[in-house]
Amino acid sequence: MKTFWLSANLEGASLQTLVKSDMIDDLVSGWNEAAEKVSEKNGDPDLRGVTKDFIISALKKGAHRTDQDVGYLVAQALLWFAVKGEMGERLLPFMREGGPNMKVHTDITCLEGNFYNFRTTADEKTSAAMTPLGLV
């Protein structure tokens, strides 16, 4: 079974979990459906915004630690965010391959008020493999 690490940090709150590489499509699709329902309910068509709001709220409240279902959904949302983000297309083959040292991490920082920055990175080996030759 192929797996990789998925983690996130926000103001002292953290999440780290193993993801089964063969479940990526199902997990991303499942979150997409959940985000669409929330989007319809609150009238916000921005799925990225809905996803960010959910992740931030759950991590700040610690709900990912106290409710197993919420923890699962936060991991699903983080995976969706990584796959749908600007690195997603290049990162996805490495997530599918998995490996004991393959890691995808999202640092979430509050920049001002309710404005948050999500920065997704990969482990050093994966990052090096994703960098086009000749570019630093």
Segment 50-70, tens digit of pLDDT: 999 999 999 999 989 888 988
What is the pLDDT at residue 28?
A: 96
Q: What residue segments make up the domains of the chain, in order of their start?
A: 3-130
DSSP secondary structure string for all residues of 85-118: STTHHHHHHHHHH--TT-EEEEEEEEEETTEEEE
Write b or e for each residue in 52-62: b if 16 or more Cβ atoms lie within 10 A of its Cβ, otherwise e. bbbbbebbeee
The pLDDT-based confidence of 131 (bands split at 50, 70, 90) is confident
The closest alpha carbon to 55, from 34, 29, 26, 41, belongs to 34
Q: What is the pTM of this model?
A: 0.89
Condensed to tens digits (0 to 9), the pLDDT of residues 2-34 reads: 999 999 999 999 999 999 999 999 999 999 999
The pLDDT-based confidence of 133 (bands split at 50, 70, 90) is low
As a whole number of angstroms, the distance between CA 1 and CA 23 comes to: 11
